[in-house]
Amino acid sequence: MAKRPPKLPKSLKVERRGAIAILTLARPEKRNALNDTIVLGLETFFATLPASVKAVVLHAEGKHFSAGLDLSELKILSTEEGVAHSRGWHRVFEQIEFGRVPVVTVMHGAVVGGGLELAAATHIRIAERSTYYALPEGSRGIFVGGGGSVRLPRLIGVTRMMDLMLTGRTYGAEEGQAVGLSHYLVEDGTGLAKGIELAKRIATNSSTTNFAIMHALPRIAEQDRASGYLMESMTAAIAQGNEEAKNRIKAFLEKKAAKVERN
């Protein structure tokens, strides 16, 4: 008997297209502001991904990707409760970053606060030209709580993040591309098609290699050189030792696989 798909909140929608799943933030009336319902829905979605899904595309309905934390649902918490709440979001976003499959995010409009933290936890980011980025926590009297202070400085540097938070500065799509917030910059309305194209390409990779890129590569980059070289050699040996890798290399040597060409 086939398993029923997990029940997700109405603020999340899922569509399957072969080996990829398209996950949509569907709360446009709130500019896709994040709340615990959405975050727990994300946890359910990624924890129950079918084995046949090899990549995920994350995008959003309406004019904005996500305007960040839904302040209308912000509760006054004790210090202990606040730490637990933030750690809950960390757990979910870590499940995305270090999950089973790569996630391609398509951004447009506002990518603000928690919305930027969510995007930063994914692996490939596409920005449409309408995209703009901000971290308004400084003016709200709060602090990032979804892992932004860990992930974003690794993307754009500590001082750029300080500038965003202290001054309320925003980056447009071009500025975000230049500093590393996005990998691809596309015209408005074309981001989802680009995201699906990339996800389909990613889904054809070896699952072992994709897993190594997601899990080993970030950790290698943070190690000292000697430890990094050792971890790289072990990861390379594991990746090339499975049957799928051997078959792919054989196909290339027999000229049955495509050569690298400029896109």
Q: Which among 15, 97, 137, 175 is annotated as catalytic?
A: 137
Phi-psi domain of 80 (left: phi exceeds 0; alpha: psi -120 through 50; beta: other): alpha
Report the distance separating Cα 70 and Cα 26, nearest Å. Answer: 14
Q: Which among 81, 94, 117, 187 is annotated as catalytic?
A: 117
Report the distance separating Cα 134 and Cα 113, nearest Å. Answer: 6
Q: Where are the alpha helices (DSSP H) in the chain?
A: 36-47, 79-97, 114-120, 137-140, 148-156, 158-167, 173-179, 191-203, 207-222, 225-240, 243-253
Q: Are 136 and 112 within 8 A, CB to CB?
A: yes
Burial class of residue 237 (count of CB atoms within 10 Å of its CB; 0-12, 13-18, 19+): exposed
- Reduce the DSSP state of residue 211 to 3 states and report it: helix
For this structure, is 15 an active site residue? Answer: no
CA 213 to chain CA centroid, Å, is 14
SS (H, E, C) 21-88: EEEEECCHHHCCCECHHHHHHHHHHHHCCCCCCCEEEEEECCCCCECCECHHHCCCCCHHHHHHHHHH
For this structure, is 137 an active site residue? Answer: yes
Handedness of CA 224, 229, 235, 238 (dihedral sign): negative
**Which of the residues are catalytic?**
117, 137
